[in-house]
Structure 1
Amino acid sequence: SLEPSCPRDFTDTLLMEMEKEKYSAEPIYTLDNIAVTVADMFFAGTETTSTTLRYGLLILMKYPEVEEKLHEEIDRVIGPNRIPAIKDRLDMPYLDAVVHEIQRFIDLIPSNLPHEATRDTVFRDYIIPKGTVVIPTLDSVLYDSQEFPEP
């Protein structure tokens, strides 16, 4: 049901680009690449948000004093007569801290994105040769009492 004159969404746009490259020797937009891109967008956007909200609500049920303080900050900054705006985030440091603490506590993203060593590196007596792919594990820090003495 793709209609090139009226793309409905991001996926339609990717499919249209794939069609443009139909006869290319090395197409970038293939069905496999599009599937991975759509999955990445889903997991990076929707899954992260829904998981944070789901666990956040459960954690706030356990700590009603935190929920009360959040509610007070939201009422003070936004009030009852309008919807939240992106600019409000700057005026709600407690909300920002609580969201980050929830994500730390639930270990939302246990591994960082892959990185590549740009030069030979020595780390804790280990030699990491240039070009080595390194995937840092974040969870080793998330529960470190030296980094988070008062979670």
Structure 2
Amino acid sequence: MGRRDYENDPQAPQANSLVPAASVVVVDDTGRILLQRRVDNGMWALPGGAMNIGESLPECAVREAREETGIDVEVVGIVGTYSNPRHVFAYDDGEVRQEFSICFLARPVGGQPAVSDESTEVRWFDPSAVADLPMVSGVRKRVDDWRSGAMPALG
């Protein structure tokens, strides 16, 4: 399913859904960050997605990391909360989702990098190498918040 991100865009469609979601910054023992290149937009992104009924947000982060990258993770902290009502995701099926996501910090505990039906590439990056990678603004903000080490303002 295709997706288009709109952030602070007056031409963005009106949101018609709000879905709890989790993303995860996975950092290995050498300080590298795990990223995936998404099928739907070709951009580099953190693993993440919508929470399922019956799971917690940290469980969602663990599941999404495994499904999208092949890496098993353990959540060790929170990077930030992201709920900008002016950031929406428009899907091909007509859903326009308002952003509502908690970004977790995790460490790898097993698995091997592997692509999924949502990714074309999965790689570990040195933090200095991510600045030039193509990313949507919301993912870039999460990565920059992690890189800065500062807890972002709520919002």
TM-score, normalising length: structure 2: 0.18
- Structure with the bigger RCO (C-alpha within 8 Å, sep 6+) is 2
TM-score, normalising length: structure 1: 0.19
Q: Which structure features the higher share of helix residues?
A: 1
Structure showing greater Rg: 1
